[in-house]
Structure 1
Amino acid sequence: MFLGIDVGTFESKGVLVDRDGMVVAAARRRHGIDTPAPGWVEQDPEDAWWADVCAIARDLLRHPGAEKVEAVAVSAIGPCVVATDADLRPLRPAILYGIDTRATKQIERLTAGLGAEEIVRRSGNTLTSQSAGPKIAWLKDEEPDVWRQARWFMTSQSWLVAKLTGEVVIDHATAGYFHPLYDLSAGAWDVSGCEDFVDLARLPRIAWTTERAGAVTAAAARITGIPEGTPVIAGTTDSPAEAVGSGVVADGELMAMYGSSGYFIRVGDRARVREGLWSAPFVFEGTYVLASGTSTAGTATRWLADLLGLASDQDELTFSRLIDLAGESEAGARGVLALPHFAGERTPFQDPTSRGALIGLGLEHTRADVARAVLEGVGHSIAAAILALCSADAPVWRVVAIGGATQNPIIMTTVSTITGLEQQVTDSPGAAYGNAFLAALGVGAVQRPAEVRGWVRERQRVRPDDDARDVLVADHAQFAALYRAVAPLHQERAR
């Protein structure tokens, strides 16, 4: 058996998987986010992350056969910044990934000080809200007491692995997002020019995802129920684990993650550096990713359902109501177009100040038209992020879609129609499942990454809608024009 746990933005999931890739037990636990100030998105590591891991592990290990667990892997949202003391106690809530946009001034200062070209040369990326380095600089500027007390600056799964094993380790795939502190070509930390806010002694040791970080300690075993001495691999963030869990491990394959936000990973055999996209190592040595992302996806649909009074205690009912309502409209939402930038936007605009907008509304429009426009707007946003990858000398020959929003046919069909790409939707349980495979690989129970394809089951295929192509492609051009038109207004209001 292999235990995989993933801590997401709003929910943590765990699976117990046998050597044939069959899920023999699953568990989940919900948690929330905190937004204490505009642009800030935080979580309490103890209450939201560690409590989930402990509860899920205890739940899964009650299953018959769980005593045969051979290895554990944990992934989590990232890149986050977790400042801890020497005893791994968090000194403040964790600062989340790209949806937290507080470090704008630090991004500007670091870019000016190091030089944009040097940052790209070193890290393969420009600095954005997805970069962890500026958030460490923000701690020094805005919370100097926390910064001085910090023994470690970690990310989410690093801290969880440390809680399990006592070892402070980060994988290359996540370290690659700590720009400008990681040298992509060297595969190592490089803090030159950043010594005023970070030093190597306070950053985790870097390892490949499937390397053993350590073993479960006696203290962690008492709390989690995982047997003492069980091997724990270094792990990774949720997105690479999702890619593995969906069977995306080879050159030219694209994982489209339709979660709370959107995240898209194109696996390659060499590093590709393109402005506005994220270049980083993948989970296996000698592999790389070119990635893009949106700031909202599932969060926008939840907001929409709440706004339209469709929410219920059951998520499935909530979203089926929303889809049914939007289905009363038609492709193109009868001329209503939405910009779903409720938390800024990442690819291709990289604009944390951008906000949502609706245009084309008339007295003839209905709730159904608004619902359809926002769902299609999410599709436009995702399509823009995928097309940015396809146009960067990174051809895509296979797309695998995963995540909760794959249940939304309007969003999915909008994306396929605009991009012209067929999408394979898998029944993979997600990042937790990918973690179970990575754990198996880490202890030699499977030998090659490609063996994961024998674990994955395809649920359906989504193809372009030829009847809607003309209207959605035309709307997509207007979608980009809408952003350009309103961006100066949002930037001015953000000052």
Structure 2
Amino acid sequence: MKYYLGVDVGTFETKGVIVDQGGRIVSTATRPHQMLVPQPGWAEHRPEEDWWGDFVFVTQKMLAESRIAPSSIAAIGTSAIGPCMLPVDADGAPLMNGVLYGIDTRAAEEIKDLTQRIGEQGLIDKCGNALTSQSVGPKILWLKRHRPHRFARAYKVLTSTSYLVHRLSGRFVIDHYSAANCSPLYLPDQLAYSDELAKDIIALDKLPDPAWTTEIAGAVTQRAADETGLAVGTPVIVGTIDAAAEAISVGVASPGDMMLMYGSTIFIVEITPKRVTDSRLWYAPWLFPGQHASMSGLATSGTLTHWFRQQFARELDAETAIVTLTEEAAQSPPGAKGLVVLPYFSGERTPIHDPQAKGMIFGLNLTHERGDLFRALLEGIACGTNHIFETYAEVGQEPAKIYAVGGGTKNRVWAQATSDISGRSQIVREKTIGASYGDAFLAAMAVGDVKVSDIEAWNPVATIFTPNTDVRNRYAKLYRIFRELYPATRASMATLDSI
């Protein structure tokens, strides 16, 4: 029997899975870690402890509990939050904490400078994306401007997945899907780095080598084997960002297929028949040659529920707090007694791309209880998700199928509100473990043991959330208010930053 190891590093925890040839989960393990917020607008992880340390922990635990011989692991797939920015020295040792994806907005000035110099339309034409807090190029420029000594010592600038693959195999590689987030330093039409748009950010040879996700990056080194318990020589694939692996795990494979990931953030991937160029969305080559992807995401979702629990439900047991809060939310009627929430607690990504956007709870009165607030929070995230759905429709890419995945699918109030507000159904697969399962599947693909369509057998459909037409009219009125609140307060939100 062959087995495949998948490990995904998320914002708040790392998940690992060992899967057999039929897609059955043999062993799982998780390990929590914290997102560091050293100052407003920043978001960081500790690479040695939170990325590699977690990988070692979950791998050792799964091998021990499953008693699978390490030599039976046919291939290893990894994914992680992204796009991140991590400078390392020639040995691959981190020079600072890893700067996280779009929720870290420290490079706002660099985004502005580069956009003014290159032009937004030029960026979209050449890179497929406007520069946003999701872009790695401005964060590298921030490093150069604000941490010049660390920049000077940097041998490579990696992403989170690239760092894991390097620790396993010794190679500095990145998949094309992730590399496309290095705007303005990567041109998707060429599938290569370029300094054509910005020559003063960084030398291109300091970036990891681009390759396709299911290419073999290398093999487990002796050092990595000693640390993890894996067998020397086990193939390690190039891997990808967590959201892409999660999309694979639920069967996103053809144009019109969309993945809706309920995680620390909402993240959406749709496979499209051609490149979509719209400043409100992100573009990247998909994981395989000749395919295209259009992405989008909210800055906060699961992160917001964690915040609410920590601030307003401290007396509840941490293990069951979200369940209790959801039960309270279920007692509140759809619309949460007239509350509307803007979930912009860390600025916002798509479609407004405003790092100065602020969270808002609108409509409070003395009759509202904690359950109403928590329901309104979930509905606010659902409204933000629907705003993204509408954006896809406006650019001619209305999804044919929406596959929902992630921990949020277990929260029926949240998932049902998303279908009710949007009027769209969501398909949920049997296994919702997410990106780590997708990593294992991609590892099996890399060594030729499965093809993309085999995910239907590995992970069949379990349930479908369908819209409740009885509440559609009520939600339509609240959604209209949701859409009006941000334009009406945008200037005041920006003013708050200067106070």
1:364 Cα deviation after fit:
2.8
- In the alignment, structure 1 residue 224 sits paired with structure 2 residue 265: no
Q: What is aligned with 1:356?
A: 359
Distance 1:434 1:226 in 2: 20
Cα offsets for 1:422-463 (capped at 9, x unmatched): 1011223210000001001101111x2111121113332111
Write the mapping of 1:391-402 to structure 2, written as runs, cut at 5 A.
391-402=394-405
Instruction: Find the partner of 1:488 among 468, 491, 494.
Output: 491
Structure 2 distance, partners of 1:305, 1:5, is 27
- Between the two proteins, the alignment pairs up a number of residues equal to 493
For residue 474 of structure 1, the aligned residue among 459, 472, 477 is 477
What aligned pairs does 1:15-414 form with structure 2 within 5 A after superposition?
15-62=17-64, 63-67=66-70, 68-309=72-313, 312-315=316-319, 317-414=320-417
The letter for the 2-side match of 1:359 is: F
For structure 1, the residue ranges without an aligned partner over 5 or more in a row are none
Q: Please list the CA deviations of residues 281-309 of structure 1 after superposition, one character each: whole Å capped at 9, or x if unmatched.
A: 11111111111100111111122223322
CA deviation after TM superposition for structure 1 residue 314, in Å: 4.3
**Contact 2:124 2:278 (8 Å CA) reproduced:** no
Deviates more, 1:373-382 or 1:143-152: 373-382
- Equivalent residues of 2:184, 2:197 under 8 A apart: no
Q: Is the 8 A contact 1:78 1:96 kept in 2?
A: yes
Distance in 2, Cα, partners of 1:365 & 1:159: 47
| Residue of structure 1 in register with 2:4 after alignment | 2
TM-score normalised to structure 1 length? 0.97
In structure 2, give the amino acid aligned to 1:280. A
Superposed CA deviations along residues 337-364 of structure 1, whole A, max 9, x for unmatched, are 1111111111111111111111212223
Residue type matched to 2:436 in 1?
Answer: A
Distance 2:399 2:335 in 1: 27
d(CA) in 2 for partners of 1:41 and 1:386? 27
For residues 197-220 of structure 1, what are the alpha-carbon distances to aligned partners after superposition, in whole Å with 9 as ceiling and x for unaligned? 211110111000000100000111
| CA distance in 2: counterparts of 1:66 and 1:246, whole angstroms | 28
| In 2, Cα distance between equivalents of 1:323 and 1:78 | 29
Q: SS where residue 331 of structure 2 aligns?
A: coil
Partner residue, 1:419: 422
Q: 1: distance between equivalents of 2:316 and 2:462?
A: 26
Deviation at 1:332, TM superposition (A): 1.1
1:155-177 deviation digits (Å, cap 9, x = unpaired): 00001101111110000010011
- Unaligned runs of at least 5 residues, structure 2: none
* Structure 2: distance between partners of 1:390 and 1:80: 29
Offset, 1:237: 0.5
Equivalent residue letter for 2:4: F
> Is the alpha carbon distance of 1:336 and 1:428 closer, same or farther for their aligned partners in structure 2, counting shifts above 3 Å?
closer
- CA drift of 1:487 comes to 1.5
Structure 1: distance between partners of 2:43 and 2:314: 25
Greater mean alpha carbon deviation, residues 381-390 or residues 340-349: 381-390
Matching residue within 461, 464, 471 for 1:461: 464
Secondary structure of the residue aligned to 2:144 is helix
* Whole-Å separation in 2 of the counterparts to 1:452 and 1:96: 30
Matches of 2:61 and 2:235 in 1, distance apart? 19
2:91 counterpart letter in structure 1: D
Supply the AA of the counterpart residue of 2:168: L
Worse overlay, 76-85 or 471-480: 471-480
Distance (whole Å) between structure 1 residues aligned to residue 116 and residue 305 of structure 2: 38
d(CA) in 1 for partners of 2:373, 2:423: 25
- Identify which range, 95-104 or 186-195, moves more after superposition: 186-195
Opposite residue 9 of structure 2, the aligned amino acid is V
Q: Do the aligned residues in 1 keep the contact of 2:137 with 2:201 (CA within 8 Å)?
A: no
- On the 8 A contact 1:281/1:287 being kept in 2, the answer is yes
Confirm or deny: 8 A CA contact 1:86 1:152 kept in the other structure: yes
State the 1:319 CA deviation.
Answer: 1.4
| 1:41 shift after superposition | 0.4
Q: Equivalent residues in 2 for 1:423-434 (5 A)?
A: 423-426=426-429, 427-434=431-438
Paired amino acid for 1:324: E
TM-score by length of 2: 0.97
Indicate if the aligned counterparts of 2:389 and 2:398 stay in contact, CA closer than 8 A.
Answer: no
Give 1:441's match in structure 2, choosing from 430, 436, 445.
445
Q: Which moved more, 1:228-237 or 1:481-490?
A: 481-490
> How far is the alpha carbon of 1:311 from its aligned partner?
5.8
8 Å contact 1:133–1:179 — kept in the other structure?
yes
